[in-house]
A = this chain, B = another copy of it.
Amino acid sequence: MTDYVSRREFLTLLGVSGGTAAAILAGTALGLLPGGAAAATLDLQMAGTEQRRIAILGGGLSGLTVAYELSKRGYDCTILEASHRCGGRIFTVRNGDLIDEIGNRQYCDFDDEPHMYFNAGAARIPSTHRNILAYCKKLNVELEIFVNENKTSYVQDKSMLGGQRIRNIEYTTHMKGFMAELMAKALDQEDLNAPFSESEAETLLGMIRSFGDLSEDDLYRGSLRAGYATGGFLEHGVQKEIIAFRDLLKTPLGRVLISANEGDTGPMLLQPKGGMDKIVEGFLAQVGDKVKYRAMVASVKVGENGVDITYDQDGVRHPLQADYCFNCIPTHLITGINNNFPAEYVSALKYVRRGEAYKAAFQAKRRFWEEEDIYGGISWMNTPSLQIWYPSHGIHQDKGVVLGAYDYGGGMYHTRMTQQQRIEAHLSDGEKLHPGYGQLVEKPITVAWHRMNHMLGCSARWRRSFSRGWSYEEETHYKTLQQPVNGRHYLIGDQMTMHSAWQESAILSAYWAMADFNQRIPVTQA
């Protein structure tokens, strides 16, 4: 393995080519694929005359979901949001926005145009995530296709071909060709081939040949699928030079490329037009009046008949009394709030760790990637910056915002640097993919989720080891936190699922909690 990607990180890379660091390996990152659950139905009764007061701690997506659904049913909801904005890790950065990293506050200076935004947190909605999609529809959030894998984009590793960038399609075409050759050989060995009838073997061989574009002798000798060197329209297309199998094996990125778009990024991906926070706007159009901003929770005391909360706002401590409380504050921040939770609940809260995802973005002075036939998608570098994302929207506009680094592997690599050092590192990495990069991009921003004010971490990481399933200890803690304290205090958010880092998870956790809550409240009259 080469410098930056260790074997362990490699597993991570592989599992999370979709970008969620929490859902990894053998049973990898996964969407709720069809045949699984349908969109959840929420069969909640209307509020009665009592027990109407709902406190929602945190204005993340799960909190907004609860506020929306319960307000609609007559409950009196209050959202306490510690920061200046709702949405949590749904965070779209535009001109003038504050990036509130502790020790590194930045204001975004992108041009003030609708397509000039950066989704610094949630950026993709798998088509199988039915509940978030259902809210998009209900809240009139317009959607468009998001491009994730793009075979026209680049791959670069200093260990491969002297660091020369190649197109993803060159890598994958050749790798598939050599793989097909290997399969054809195996099929030719009678002992390996035992279970197949002659006709099955023939069918399979046909598929293998198609898969790899093999020559007639079942060897791989390159393929026009990897692109023309010249010609192809007015004259014959000339095949590009083949890349040796041995060279392809030199980059650990190969694993990612050859199994791209599995799990959550296997289905089509979508994004709201204009930025992911159009979803937050959609919710706030309904429940915006319930939110108290810059309201930091100071204490949560769960009683037999309700929950007593205090919070600080504008330098003043306020009380908030509620009948029920839904809490999506990150577990590792809850542990610092005065509480009377049972000991095993507190232990469980302390158990959950956090990811340390890091993203950077630049404004591009012109859409240089489109000049190279790239429309959306990801280029891969075996450097700490790891990825460049090109926007799926704003095609053929003058400028655009590119993601210049995405370190979801959980390193503190970039956050040990100054802002200037981070930027220089991304410029230097990007230069290997796009010569002249330093002149093509400007107005950098960086978002280190584990240093963001009121966050101090990215998504929940329940599991200590990604090479096994959930341990008994992990399951026990998870189940402890899923149950409400005294039937009054619910922990919600993507942190309360086995599939963190997705908006769908946040909604499903809220649904679980509201369904449980609904069974506890007195039955109201029809």
Q: Which residues of A contact B (CB under 8 A)?
A: 10, 14, 26-28, 30-37, 127-128, 130, 133, 136-137, 142-145, 147, 150-152, 167, 169, 173, 175, 179, 182-183, 185-187, 189, 192, 195, 200, 203-204, 206-208, 210-211, 213, 215, 223-237, 239-240, 245-246, 249, 252, 254-256, 258-259, 261-263, 266-268, 270, 370, 372-377, 392, 395-396, 469-470, 482, 497-499, 504-505, 508-509, 512
Contacts and interface: CB of A to CB of B under 8 A. Distances in A.
Contacts of A512: 234
Contacts of A229: 35-36
25 contacts: A14-B210, A26-B213, A26-B215, A28-B223, A33-B169, A33-B226, A33-B228, A35-B229, A36-B231, A36-B232, A127-B375, A128-B373, A133-B370, A144-B145, A145-B147, A145-B392, A151-B266, A169-B267, A200-B249, A203-B252, A207-B258, A211-B258, A225-B263, A233-B504, A270-B375
A179 B208 contact: yes
B14 A232 contact: no
A358 to B, nearest CB: 24
B182 A186 contact: yes
Given A137-B396, A200-B246, A234 B498 contact: yes
A287 B498 CA distance: 60
A467 to B, nearest CB: 10
Contacts of A215: 26
B169 A233 contact: no
User: Which among A137, A195, A375 has the greatest number of chain B C-beta atoms within 10 A?
Assistant: A375
Contacts of A226: 33
How many copies altogether? 2
A234 B187 contact: no
Given A32-B228, A182-B183, A195-B245, 17 more contacts: A27-B237, A27-B239, A28-B223, A30-B228, A30-B237, A33-B169, A33-B228, A33-B240, A35-B227, A35-B240, A145-B147, A147-B268, A173-B262, A182-B187, A207-B254, A233-B505, A267-B373
User: Which among A167, A185, A228 has the greatest number of chain B C-beta atoms within 10 A?
Assistant: A228
Given A34-B152, A208-B179, A210-B14, A236 B268 contact: no
Given A33-B169, A237-B30, A497-B234, A179 B249 contact: no
A164 to B, nearest CB: 12
A303 to B, nearest CB: 27
A249 B211 contact: no
Contact of A152 (B224, B227, B258, B267): B267
A240 to B, nearest CB: 6
B36 A227 contact: yes
A293 B206 CA distance: 49
A36 B226 CA distance: 11
Given A136-B396, A208-B179, A255-B210, A145 B33 contact: no
Contacts of A505: 233
Contacts of A152: 33-34, 127-128, 266-268
9 A-B pairs with the lowest CB-CB distances in the bound complex, closest first: A33-B227, A186-B186, A27-B224, A36-B228, A145-B145, A210-B255, A210-B259, A152-B267, A143-B395
A498 B259 contact: no
A33 B233 contact: no
A258 to B, nearest CB: 5
A469 to B, nearest CB: 8
A203 B249 contact: yes
Given A236-B470, A395-B143, A183 B189 contact: no
B258 A169 contact: no
B145 A508 contact: no
Contacts of A225: 28, 30, 262-263, 266
A265 to B, nearest CB: 10
A6 to B, nearest CB: 13
Nearest to A497: B233
